[in-house]
Structure 1
């Protein structure tokens, strides 16, 4: 027993020394489970830059590993050495993987160290420009009168727009015909052209079209109205009568399970410093995102939040019977 305690004390001391030196001159890889150029990729690259200074000028590279509702990239991190040099930046997909993806080779709640939530991105409900309705009340009446005839676009199974669409159908008790695309750009192009009726997507993707009046905007998916000049007059879907309707596309940072506590703590502290970086905040605001500043920036708060999101999305995805693989 004494030998075991001594070994444990030595191991803890060694880990502490390594944590003091971390990351040293070794490169940190931040895995993004989506293709380069998308909203999550942009958040990751901004975050990587903001993390460099609090991590002593570390080199942080972004590795795009898309596929299967973000589970392929997440699996790569779950299998990685738990030394702090391989991280995962994932969005709301982290909470949908357990239900959306069959035969997942890891457990979201137990195979990662939670390092903190990074930001929240609001979403907007928009329509083709020729839509007869001009406000949400009129749109709601149009939906009721056209049940079975409505085409609802999305950027692919498991995408933010797909998830928002599922929740919208559930909340309105209306079945719509899903029209999946390979990304947001072609979905919005068809919406502008009138080939589909509705789309619910991130402000990062919809704001330019709303500003150019190439689509009609009806509501935001946040619990409170947005303050940006372009969207400040849009009601929330909760205001419009959809009780408890709230969807934001949040991003969180993770490390493999078993990462030494001292290194995980150092990464969390670096993240909290990065989230206060004026340049990072400016870039996120430019994307329509709100940088996290609540209890979710702590590992415990981050994990509790993801668990609540899993409980929220699981029944909706099961009811829809959709899979990302």
Structure 2
């Protein structure tokens, strides 16, 4: 009985020690450059998290490089106190296959806090392409094997992954043109230096609305409902059965972060995902807020493990690795 009482007291003291968390600004690491799609999501999320975390500031720190692995490494090695968090996209699941060496273990060195959103992707092309829809584009791609330039934002980027799967699904090899980020890739697509690109709606919606690119299809299994993208067919219905790529974002903390802190962050995340202003901003970008079991840490981790198993074979088949 005495031992039970001491254990209860210890647990109570440990819980109370974190009752005031957060007592200072929280750093949210974005493993990509400012202005990119993950950065946009992070800044919207930071604003939505502020209120449920007692009004404390959420400071964005952009740690770009090596396909997001530098920023992830920084968080994996940070003090496990809840004051350094990571917002990462699908690269969390693809890096184990893309990089021969990583400074962290994806499923072991982080605390999983919950998924935030899923961002559909769009297949777009330069305006001078002689195709008005996906059926015509498919014929053009078949007729121009060996001459097609496919842009992406760099190894491990969302556009790179979508491009890999697109080529494998069509069984057509294209000349992959990697850039150091989404902005320069889009600039060259707008200028006609490259032919096509598969990228997130967060990057493509405004270009589609303005008519600066041709839009051919979306990568989800269901059509989107946004005004700019609602009329686009899915690649699945266009003939690439089973094609389904969404770029999700999740929230993480260093391994060993105290459970009371993790619980508080997860509770704040769930409230942030219901924030009307956050929802409005994400919807405008074509993103879908997560409202299923994956907002829970255990289900978030199971999902990432499944994604590792999904993308590993795709990446290995392409033979594209980084040291």
TM-score (norm 2): 0.95
The question of whether the paired residues in 1 share the 8 Å contact of 2:30 and 2:88 is answered with: yes
- Matching residue within 141, 144, 147 for 1:143: 141
State the partner residue of 2:206.
208
- Matching residue within 292, 295, 300 for 2:293: 295
Q: How does 1:24-63 map to 2 (within 5 A)?
A: 25-63=23-61
Please give the alpha-carbon distance, in whole angstroms, between the structure 1 residues aligned to 2:227 and 2:191.
Answer: 26
Q: How does 1:134-213 map to 2 (within 5 A)?
A: 134-213=132-211
State the partner residue of 1:17.
16
User: Which contiguous aligned blocks of 4+ residues in structure 1 show a shift greater than 4 angstroms?
Assistant: 2-11
The question of whether the paired residues in 2 share the 8 Å contact of 1:15 and 1:260 is answered with: no
* Post-superposition offset of 1:134: 1.5
* Post-superposition offset of 1:323: 2.7
The question of whether the paired residues in 1 share the 8 Å contact of 2:27 and 2:60 is answered with: yes
* Post-superposition offset of 1:9: 5.0
TM-score (norm 1): 0.94
Gaps of 5+ in 1: none
Do structure 1's residue 277 and structure 2's residue 275 form an aligned pair? Answer: yes
Matched position secondary structure for 1:89: strand
* Post-superposition offset of 1:5: 7.5
Matched position secondary structure for 1:102: coil
* Post-superposition offset of 1:44: 0.9
State the partner residue of 2:82.
84
Matched position secondary structure for 1:251: strand
Do structure 1's residue 128 and structure 2's residue 126 form an aligned pair? Answer: yes
* Post-superposition offset of 1:87: 0.6
The question of whether the paired residues in 1 share the 8 Å contact of 2:205 and 2:285 is answered with: no
Structure 1, residues 111-135: CA drift from partner, whole Å, max 9, x if none? 1111010111111001111111211
Q: How does 1:217-296 map to 2 (within 5 A)?
A: 217-296=215-294
* Post-superposition offset of 1:193: 2.4
What is the CA RMSD across the aligned residues, in angstroms? 1.8
Please give the alpha-carbon distance, in whole angstroms, between the structure 2 residues aligned to 1:307 and 1:3.
Answer: 42
- Matching residue within 87, 92, 95 for 2:93: 95
* Post-superposition offset of 1:249: 1.3
State the partner residue of 1:308.
306
Structure 1, residues 265-284: CA drift from partner, whole Å, max 9, x if none? 11101000000011111111
The question of whether the paired residues in 1 share the 8 Å contact of 2:26 and 2:84 is answered with: yes
The question of whether the paired residues in 1 share the 8 Å contact of 2:67 and 2:154 is answered with: no
Please give the alpha-carbon distance, in whole angstroms, between the structure 2 residues aligned to 1:101 and 1:6.
Answer: 49
Please give the alpha-carbon distance, in whole angstroms, between the structure 2 residues aligned to 1:50 and 1:273.
Answer: 8
Structure 1, residues 269-322: CA drift from partner, whole Å, max 9, x if none? 100000001111111122221111111111112111111111111111112222
Counterparts in 2 of 1:3 and 1:209: CA distance versus 1, 3 Å = same
**Aligned residue pair count:** 323
Please give the alpha-carbon distance, in whole angstroms, between the structure 2 residues aligned to 1:161 and 1:263.
Answer: 35
Please give the alpha-carbon distance, in whole angstroms, between the structure 2 residues aligned to 1:249 and 1:79.
Answer: 25
* Post-superposition offset of 1:209: 1.9
The question of whether the paired residues in 2 share the 8 Å contact of 1:165 and 1:199 is answered with: yes
Please give the alpha-carbon distance, in whole angstroms, between the structure 2 residues aligned to 1:78 and 1:9.
Answer: 31
